[in-house]
């Protein structure tokens, strides 16, 4: 019986027993403390409601950054957004936090704490999840760790500092780690539940974000946070419960990880699960087919050649003359993320289809590139009834978190640490190892190569905007023009004789499509590193100070 049914049953019991004089009447608008929270199953049912916090397939992704572009400009990416009256993110987070705090309150009175430790651990995990969403968007926010009433002083409390919010998140995740089961101890019929390793993976993400934010924005505790990030990531790596998905070889494994073939594989640490008739399906494949999220030149140009060198210095780069030439001799993740003209793929109705050319009219791609990553391969997926899960945490990210935390903490990283992190990802796709000797010999920057690996491996997964923010490079990257394929002087001109550059779309002096002009893109480093708080909340709480510049 789910929590909703329990509430209904309790209400019926109270109403039908109203004539009993000795009955202690419980509140009719909520689960009553007198009839609930009496056994571990009650806590489990309450904790199940928190899983709605896990993000599903929401598109477009990364269009708020510079690596994908949707069917039109993105206000966050181009800096034209305004302070909102209301915010679903703010309201939803605090509504969830209230429910979580209520479970934690009830747990304090439970006579056998060990019986409910797992569900208390889940509550701590999801409170951290909500506060991290608030932190990455707004910086410091009011901390609420108890159940408030209508006259609680906390309703008009000022914002806590960024460090205080980060400390709470880290403490909550440590509490979760102490209580949650190992992944190997979670029954197969409970796949999708939070494990100890999920909390460790999340801790590595949080601590890396805050450690680099402090390092590049002039904050506090940079080394302390980076140490926590490296330790948490290493705990997942050393635990040995997860491995990279490699079942389809170097040319297919990376792409198939994110669709039907990768379901429940042991690279996935936690996902938002989709099951028909239980918690729904999604329409990701159809959205992508309609070009709602297209890769840009910024992304495509960053894939290395197969010799491990950037296209600017590799003799293997084949240029842009033909529609397919820039895909040749490149990191295999390029062809697994972006559809290469001439490739055969599983398309509509789960039939083999040839991707002949991009759509530059009709349901067009504004950049000339079409996303391949996340395109499903079943008839149901193409019909808008996809069931493949959305990955929230995976080993691939943890490996990247470890490598970056080690480098930023020490200003260097050993080849041994590269071999247990980034080079595992390169092995999956058959790319040369990243080594200190390779960086030195070829005049590269280790920091740039670690960041490049993250940009490529996590492309279109929704990480890029936060990476630009924490590295404090958004002011350099976001004001640039959003570019696509090279059209002028290439095969594209003969394939699309009916299209005229400057009429159908803009091109730059080198012939690249411009999806959005640099003159239409802005980034004010005095305000845009944090989003504005919703105006309604500031009006409700006179002590709630708006972010600078808003």
- For residue 264, how far is the Cα from the chain centroid? 18
High-pLDDT (> 70) share of the chain, %: 93
Position 330 pLDDT exceeds 70: yes
Has residue 15 got a pLDDT over 60?
no
Q: Please state, in angstroms and as integers, the Cα–Cα distance from residue 222 to each residue in 209, 297, 508, following that order.
A: 10, 33, 41
Q: Would you call 355 helix, strand, or coil by DSSP?
A: coil
pLDDT of 361 reads 77
Q: How far apart are the first and last CA of the chain?
A: 47
What string of DSSP letters covers 524-539?
Answer: -TTTTTSPPPPHHHHH
Could you tell me which of 162, 98, 93 has the C-alpha nearest to residue 130? 93
Please report the pLDDT score of residue 98 as a whole number: 97
Taking residues 513-532, report their average pLDDT: 97
Q: Where does the pLDDT of residue 59 fall: very low under 50, low under 70, confident under 90, or very high at 90 and above?
A: confident
Q: Decide if 140 contacts 165 (C-beta within 8 A).
A: yes
Supply the pLDDT for residue 146.
95
How wide is the angle at C-alpha 499 spanned by C-alphas 286 and 520, nearest 5°?
A: 70
Tens digit of pLDDT for each residue in 161-174? 999 999 999 999 99
Residues in Cβ contact with 463 at an 8 Å cutoff, skipping those fewer than 6 apart: 62, 397, 454
**How far is 465 from 446, CA to CA, in rounded Å?**
21
Q: Are 162 and 132 in contact (CB under 8 A)?
A: no
What pLDDT digit, counting tens, does each position of 257-315 carry? 999 999 999 999 999 999 988 889 999 999 998 899 999 999 999 999 999 999 999 99
Rounded distance, CA 491 to CA 499, Å? 13
- Residues 160 and 142: their CA atoms lie apart, in Å, by 5
* pLDDT over 80 at 26, yes or no: no
Q: What is the pLDDT of residues 448-483, one digit of tens each?
A: 999 999 999 999 999 999 999 999 999 999 999 999
pLDDT at residue 278, rounded to an integer: 82
The residues spanned by each domain of the chain are: 280-388+481-520
pLDDT per residue as tens digits for the range 30-41: 555 667 999 999
Q: What is the largest CA-CA distance in the chain?
A: 89
Query: In this predicted structure, what is the pLDDT of residue 265?
Result: 96
Q: Which residue, among 58, 56, 82, 60, has the nearest Cα to 71 in the 3D structure?
A: 60
Q: Is residue 190 classed as helix, strand or coil in its secondary structure?
A: helix
pTM of the entire predicted model: 0.93
Query: What's the pLDDT score for residue 51?
Result: 96
pLDDT of 31: 52
Residue 506 pLDDT:
95
Q: Which of 26-35, 128-137, 171-180, 443-452 has the lowest mean pLDDT?
A: 26-35
Residue pLDDT, tens place only, 334-379? 999 999 999 999 999 899 999 999 998 766 899 999 999 999 999 9
Distance from C-alpha of 117 to C-alpha of 342, rounded to nearest angstrom: 54
Q: What is the pLDDT of residues 71-108, one digit of tens each?
A: 999 999 999 999 999 999 999 999 999 999 999 999 99
Q: What is the pLDDT confidence band of residue 1, given thresholds at 50, 70 and 90?
A: very low
CA distance 274 to 58: 13
Q: What is the pLDDT of residue 22?
A: 36
At 518, the pLDDT band (50, 70, 90 cuts) reads very high
Residue 30: predicted pLDDT:
52
The DSSP letter of residue 49 is: G
Mean pLDDT throughout 482-497?
A: 97
pLDDT of residue 32: 59
């Amino acid at each position: 019986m789910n929590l909703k049914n329990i509430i209904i049953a309790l209400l019926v019991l109270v109403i039908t027993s109203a004539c009993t004089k000795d009955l202690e009447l419980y509140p009719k608008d909520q689960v009553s403390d007198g009839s609930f929270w009496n056994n571990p199953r009650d806590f489990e049912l309450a904790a199940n409601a928190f899983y709605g916090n896990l993000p599903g397939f929401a598109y477009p992704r990364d269009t708020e950054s510079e690596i994908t572009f949707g069917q039109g400009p993105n206000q966050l990416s181009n800096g034209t957004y305004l302070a909102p009256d209301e915010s679903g993110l703010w309201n939803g987070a605090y509504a969830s936090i209230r429910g979580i705090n209520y479970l934690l309150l009830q747990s304090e009175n439970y006579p056998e704490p060990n019986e409910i430790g797992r569900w208390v651990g889940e509550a701590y995990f999801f409170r951290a999840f909500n506060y991290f969403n608030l932190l990455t968007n707004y910086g410091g926010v009011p901390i609420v760790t108890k159940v408030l009433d209508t006259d609680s002083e906390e309703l008009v409390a000022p914002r806590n500092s960024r460090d205080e919010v980060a400390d709470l998140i880290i403490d909550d995740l440590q509490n979760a780690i102490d209580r949650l089961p190992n992944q190997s101890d979670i029954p197969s019929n409970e796949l999708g539940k939070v494990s100890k390793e999920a909390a460790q993976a999340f801790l590595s993400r949080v601590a890396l974000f805050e450690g680099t934010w402090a390092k590049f924005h002039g904050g506090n505790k940079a080394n302390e946070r980076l140490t926590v990030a490296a330790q948490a990531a290493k705990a997942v790596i050393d635990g040995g419960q997860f491995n990279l998905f490699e079942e389809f070889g170097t040319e297919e494994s990376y792409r198939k990880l994110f669709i039907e073939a990768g379901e429940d594989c042991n690279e996935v640490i936690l996902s938002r699960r989709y099951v028909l008739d239980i918690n729904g399906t999604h329409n990701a494949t159809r959205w992508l087919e309609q070009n709602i999220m297209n890769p840009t030149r910024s992304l495509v140009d960053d894939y290395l050649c197969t010799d491990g060198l950037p296209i600017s210095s590799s003799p293997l780069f084949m240029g842009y003359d033909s529609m397919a030439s820039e895909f040749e001799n490149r990191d295999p993740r390029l062809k697994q993320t972006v559809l290469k003209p001439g490739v055969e793929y599983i398309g509509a109705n789960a039939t083999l289809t040839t991707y002949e050319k991009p759509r530059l009219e009709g349901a067009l791609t504004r950049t000339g590139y079409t996303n391949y990553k996340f395109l499903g391969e079943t008839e149901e997926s193409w019909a808008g009834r996809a069931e493949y899960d959305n990955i929230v945490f995976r080993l691939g990210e943890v490996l990247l978190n470890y490598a970056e935390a080690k480098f930023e903490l020490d200003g260097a990283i050993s080849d041994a640490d590269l071999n247990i992190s980034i080079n595992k990802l390169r092995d999956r796709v058959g790319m040369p190892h990243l080594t200190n000797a390779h960086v030195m010999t070829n005049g590269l920057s280790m920091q740039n190569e670690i960041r490049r690996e993250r940009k490529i491996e996590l492309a279109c997964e929704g990480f890029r905007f936060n990476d630009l923010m924490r590295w404090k490079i958004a002011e350099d990257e976001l004001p640039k023009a959003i570019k696509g394929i090279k059209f002028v002087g290439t095969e594209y001109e003969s394939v699309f004789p009916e299209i005229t550059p400057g009429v159908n779309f803009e091109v730059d002096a080198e012939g690249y499509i411009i999806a959005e002009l640099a003159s239409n893109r802005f980034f004010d480093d005095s305000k845009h590193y944090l989003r504005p708080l919703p105006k309604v909340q500031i009006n409700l709480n006179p002590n709630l100070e708006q972010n600078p510049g808003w």
